[in-house]
Amino acid sequence: MYKIVDKKNLAPNIFSMDILAPRVAQSAQPGQFVIVIADEKGERVPLTICDYDTEKGTVTIVVQSTGCSTKKMAEYNVGDYFEDFVGPLGQPSEYVNEDLNELKKKKVLFVAGGVGTAPVYPQARWFHERGIDVDVIIGAKTKELVILEEKMSKVAGNLYVATDDGSYGFKGMVTNLIEDLVKNQGKKYDFIVCIGPMIMMKFVCKLTKELGIKTIVSLNPIMVDGTGMCGACRVSVGNETKFACVDGPEFDGHLVNFDEALRRQTQYKSEESEKGGQHVC
């Protein structure tokens, strides 16, 4: 059993929770995820790691209550226990194994969309701890959906916020802001890490391909059970078939067949709604 030791409301229907899981906190690396099972009848819910504290032994997850399982999880409070908390799973981000001196010469941009801001935070923190300043864009539909801005501002070299409706920061999509930074402000990036909704990652990759900037994406949104068993996260990367939960979740975004991945995601959503949204409730 895994105790919830802190809970914060970040935005409407979006919560962060600190879970006491010392062994997971000890070995977590940027890019990895955990599987949470709320109670003995609960589904396996793969969630990205938003933060980890090796001294306190805690791992922070961010839950957006959209489906049955995440709604149930969001009802848990400080002092309650999750049935299981498995991880860290998946491959760490590829730069973790890069030569640090080489990495220090590179300019990196992180692009976070919505709750995708959660997995971007530990990555930006990883760079900050090694004395590397990275630029970060947080994108959201509206001001009230911008999450983790203050936390991110402590680890980002430059932090930019974009909202679709212009209620806060730059008015427009993250793709508009990337174009502005690169074309108008003369920013140069060696690579971009983009994490957010599939459709956002698709269009960011379309743009960065034109701009000639290598882009890594995280395909955690298409994971279902996170075990390599259900096949839901199967995706074509270049000429190869990959499983996001086992081979990823991070891949070269310019090689990912987003249309296929989006079709599969839509198929699972419509199957869920055919069951009245009662996804194993």
243 binds ligand FES (CB under 6 A): yes
Size, binding site for ligand FES by CB under 6 A: 14
| Residues in region 245-264 near ligand FES by CB under 6 A | 245
CA 205, distance to chain mean position in Å, is 16
Nearer to ligand FES, 201 or 245 (CB): 245
Residues 6 or more apart whose Cβ sits within 8 Å of residue 186: none
Contact by Cβ (8 Å): 17, 4 = yes
Residue-wise over 30-44: b if at least 16 C-beta within 10 A, else e? bbbbbbbbbeeebbb
Among 196, 226, 249, 253, binds ligand FES (CB under 6 A): 226
Residue-wise over 114-145: b if at least 16 C-beta within 10 A, else e? bbbbbbbbbbbbbbeeeebebbbbbbbeeeeb
Nearer to ligand FES, 61 or 232 (CB): 232
Nearer to ligand FES, 127 or 258 (CB): 258
Report, in Å, the least distance between residue 62 CB and ligand FES.
19
Among 233, 235, 256, 261, binds ligand FES (CB under 6 A): 233
Report, in Å, the least distance between residue 140 CB and ligand FES.
26
28 binds ligand FES (CB under 6 A): no
Give contact residues for ligand FES (rule: CB under 6 A): 223-233, 243-245
